[in-house]
Structure 1
Amino acid sequence: MTMIFYMKKNFFKAFELLILCATVLCSCDDDGITEGDPNYWTSSRGQFISILKDGTKMFFLDSKNGTATVTFDGSNPLHWQDASTATVKVSTYKGDVNVPEFIENDGKQLTVTSIGEEAFMGCRTMTACVLPETVTSIGQGAFNICTTLTSVNIPKGVTEIPSACFGRCEKLTSINIPVSVTKLGRMAFYGCIALRFITVNATEPPIIADETVFSSISSSAEVKVPTGCSETYKNAPIWKNMNIVE
């Protein structure tokens, strides 16, 4: 009987310890906030801030493998914002923003390889953004509704310009699409009403998701393609409806 009581006592102690651990874990990480919530990327989940030389606060997410992703600053939720009704505006990034190739965190050098989904979405104070060649992926809606953005480069290692990536960038006048890009997602340049010059370096036309990719762009906007490739573009879906020049 004594042995049975002792075993039961230990069992309940172990059970209480398990409940305590679960409570601690819940309070630290499983706090009811899920990915997509503007408060999700807390310091306990790996987000940290890097102050650039010009004083800009850049938010990064450490992916634990020596790389870092530029992510949203926490003031702009990860969901679509109508430019006319949005009450949340990103003001962290102002003027000309230069994303660094490397950053230091806890004594470790991390390579910046990605621009996260909606990382700069809704930023109405950034005029230009320079991305390092270490970046190989750009997330959906990364520059969506950046209404003051006039110029941005697409690094040579990027293979896709995803959905709504530059949607409603009303002051973007030109874009250079490197040879590495093979696909343009839906509404990638939707609402870019000032876009007049598009340079595509690929000899094979990148796949365009649908007609929304270049919606609102003037029919007179020039699409410059490599020498000898104009006919290929003029026969490609959707590209054929654009003003192709060599």
Structure 2
Amino acid sequence: MLSWWRTLCALALLNIGLWLTVLHLGPVGGAHAELQLALSGVYVLVCAYRSVLPRVDLERLVVVDTRLSSIFLGRAAATVAEICFALQLGLLVHQLGLHAGMPWVQTAAWAIPAFMIVAQGFCWHSVLTLNHITQAIESSLWAAGFSWMAVLLGVIALGSSGWVEALAICGILGALAFVAYVVSVDVPMYWRRYQHGRARGQAYMRLDQGARDAWQRRVPSGNWAAWKADALWLTPYFSVGVWVSIAMVCVPGV
């Protein structure tokens, strides 16, 4: 458990260093790149905060028992960061659609973050009520957004060449890998937790009760068994997810 947490802390430092490197040395230029850089900066910073003070929202699990580990505070920060990441994805497809000369793809690209922004509402519902079923819906909406992204990138790949085609194909593979993970790991995990809660008579909270509970209650745990299942998504979230965010800064503008 301690080694995993130390790994997350090391990732936080590495990711901040990578973002600063891109800021000072990377091929950043144009309005698209500047916006990507700003959005990525928010995502990198919040992921660093959540790496150093990891938590599992519905179970109220924390590694470090401090007010900064508040479930409510962490979820609020994550909401901002995930919206920034979602906007990055939409902007990426918009950029590639612009390079490929496909105006309708540029417009359709903004449906990608729309899925993910709606998902935030379901996420908050699950965090406040302790109902895992809406957490499963949240993950499904992220999968839907990435599926739509894969479709648009497929259109771009078919109608372009060179680096635009290559990047679109890489994006398709990444998006489909994410969808496969969500469908095979995330959603089943939350569904099992929902069923387990129902079986033991889980009492769901009202939104106001849940807000107070999420702000105040923390369950410190250094037991790897308690973290193992969520570590499967937390680790790539704070590593691969951040690297993708930083990489999107380097996509050439027009």
Instruction: Give the structure with higher Rg (CA).
Output: 1
The structure with more helix, counted as a fraction of residues: 2
> Structures share a fold, TM > 0.5?
no
The normalised TM-score by structure 1 is 0.26
The structure with more strand, counted as a fraction of residues: 1
The normalised TM-score by structure 2 is 0.26
